[in-house]
Amino acid sequence: MVEDQLALLDKNINEFWNKFKSTDTAGQMAGLRDTYKDSIKTFAEKLSVKLKEEERMVEMFLEYQNQISKQNMIIQEKKDNLLQLIAEVKDKKQELEAVTAKIQDLKEEYSRKKETISAANKANAEKLKRLQKSADLYKDRLGLEIRKIYGDKLQFIFTNIDPKNPESPFMFCLHLNEARDYEVSDSSPHLECLAELQEKVRKTNNFSAFLANVRKAFTATVNN
């Protein structure tokens, strides 16, 4: 815009010079001078207006640029926050996957232990069933009574051992330990060979022979 105004001014000056060269009258010179002054004044006013408009445009451009800079900062901050949130969500997802895997492992371990315990309980039930069967078989012949007492123990009570006192009880306790082996304790009267008999029945699993051997040991204490 300023270049256009300067070109217009240059054009007016040239026109003035041409008119000035073509006449030498004082009136015409005065008119030309006034015309030139008016042209200069008009040009100056227009130029001033244009400069003010351009100043406002520059100010508006700078303000707009400042706003864009602020918006870019806000956008970058939001982007950083979003990236941080995504990273946190990813970490939480990994933690959740780890916890889920741990829970699954615990479930599988619990299932295995449950099966093991179930199998052990079944084996114990079968073992106790055999014990009860053996007890019933020898109850009348050996004068044997079996009682279930505290701690999941079985108490074996023999009678008809002491001829002088047939009702006198001879007893011991038995239970299955954590290894599911026979564990014998609390014999009355005390039998020195009880530990040896326990090891033997663990190896042979012949409980009937074990009961017979215990009865023999009790009989030997009476004879001695």
Tens-level pLDDT at each residue, the chain (224 residues) = 556 666 776 777 777 767 666 655 556 666 666 776 777 778 778 878 888 888 888 888 888 888 888 888 898 888 888 888 888 888 888 888 888 888 988 888 888 888 877 777 777 677 667 766 766 666 666 678 888 888 788 999 999 899 999 899 999 999 988 888 899 988 999 999 999 999 999 999 998 899 989 999 999 998 87
Neighbour tally for 9: CB within 10 Å: 15
b/e per residue, 145-166, with b = 16+ CB within 10 A?
ebeeeeeeebbbebbbbbeeee
| Dist. CA 163–CA 142, nearest whole Å | 13
Q: Looking at residue 30, what is its pLDDT? A: 64
Q: Looking at residue 214, what is its pLDDT? A: 93
User: Three-state SS for 91?
Assistant: helix
Q: Looking at residue 197, what is its pLDDT? A: 94
| Dist. CA 152–CA 145, nearest whole Å | 16
Q: Looking at residue 60, what is its pLDDT? A: 87
Return the CATH number of the domain spanning residue range 139-223.
Answer: 3.30.457.50
| Dist. CA 35–CA 156, nearest whole Å | 144
Give the residue extent of every domain in the chain.
139-223
